[in-house]
Chain A
Amino acid sequence: GAVVSQHPSWVICKSGTSVKIECRSLDFQATTMFWYRQFPKQSLMLMATSNEGSKATYEQGVEKDKFLINHASLTLSTLTVTSAHPEDSSFYICSASRPLGSGRAFSTDTQYFGPGTRLTVL
């Protein structure tokens, strides 16, 4: 259980075009979904947090008008990179948060990650 998929796995586009990346939790309903970005030889950086039916919360320095996030259901979130430029080329990874469950003194949701999407903007 706890499988998260992303589509596409890689995409090449021309500068100025928009690219949509889908993130799906396949076997559970996610309370929250997250979008990360990873540049070569660097660690993952959180871009935004989204909950179904509400606006995403963006991290400082991430342009919300450039990286549009739609969280239409408990199993689907999309990230649209608008007017992409070469500096947006990166590895984009989503995660979906699955509740730990009841019966513990402390509870926390566990994030499960998708396989990532490699975006190259020419």
Chain B
Amino acid sequence: DAKTTQPPSMDCAEGRAANLPCNHSTISGNEYVYWYRQIHSQGPQYIIHGLKNNETNEMASLIITEDRKSSTLILPHATLRDTAVYYCIAYNSGGSNYKLTFGKGTLLTVNP
């Protein structure tokens, strides 16, 4: 399984961009980089995923390095409601790593 490494916690000022890093140096060629977040006492929320190219949606942007060994999730204008644990997961439902394995994630605290 491709294991991911994330910092345990980060702080961000409200209105600023939050950049959350993730290392996945052993990711295999068919594994996507997925990002989820979990706000306290709620189920995880899907944010974004990508394979090679950078991706953007209404929630965030995902920047994947050319060698695919690391990625960065960008929340362009963080709000207090973005305070959550963010999980980076290497995953492909049809691959050998077909299970979503949640690590400890990064606790992002957005401060006023």
Distance of B36 from chain A, by nearest CB (Å): 8
Distance of B13 from chain A, by nearest CB (Å): 26
Is A83's beta carbon under 8 Å from chain B?
no
**With contact pairs A93-B43, A113-B44, A114-B43 given, residues A43 and B93 touching in the complex (Cβ less than 8 Å):** no
**With contact pairs A2-B46, A93-B44, A116-B43 given, residues A111 and B100 touching in the complex (Cβ less than 8 Å):** yes
Task: Let me know if B42 and A115 touch, CB within 8 A.
Answer: yes
**With contact pairs A43-B102, A106-B30, A107-B94 given, residues A112 and B46 touching in the complex (Cβ less than 8 Å):** yes
Smallest Cβ-Cβ distance to A94: which chain B residue:
B43
Is A97's beta carbon under 8 Å from chain B?
yes
Give the most central of A34, A106, A115: most B CB within 10 Å. Answer: A106
Q: How far is the CA of A44 from the CA of B42 in the complex (A)?
A: 12
**With contact pairs A108-B32, A109-B93 given, residues A116 and B100 touching in the complex (Cβ less than 8 Å):** no
Task: Let me know if A43 and B43 touch, CB within 8 A.
Answer: no
B44 to chain A: which residues have CB within 8 Å? 44, 93, 95, 113
Task: Let me know if B51 and A106 touch, CB within 8 A.
Answer: yes
Q: How many residues of B contact A (CB 8 A)?
A: 26
Is A17's beta carbon under 8 Å from chain B?
no
Q: How far is the CA of A107 from the CA of B93 in the complex (A)?
A: 8
Is A46's beta carbon under 8 Å from chain B?
yes
Q: How far is the CA of A45 from the CA of B44 in the complex (A)?
A: 12
Task: Let me know if B94 and A108 touch, CB within 8 A.
Answer: yes
B66-112 residues with Cβ-Cβ distance < 8 A to A are 87, 91-95, 99-105
Q: How far is the CA of A38 from the CA of B103 in the complex (A)?
A: 12
Indicate with 1 or 0, residue by residue over B24-43, a CB within 8 angstroms of chain A CB atoms: 00000010101010100111
A58 to chain B: which residues have CB within 8 Å? none
Chain B positions within 8 Å of A, measured between CB atoms, are 30, 32, 34, 36, 38, 41-46, 49, 51, 87, 91-95, 99-105
17 A-B pairs besides A114-B43, A116-B41 with CB distance below 8 A are A32-B93, A34-B100, A43-B103, A44-B44, A93-B43, A95-B44, A97-B93, A108-B49, A111-B46, A113-B36, A113-B43, A113-B44, A113-B45, A113-B46, A115-B42, A115-B43, A118-B41
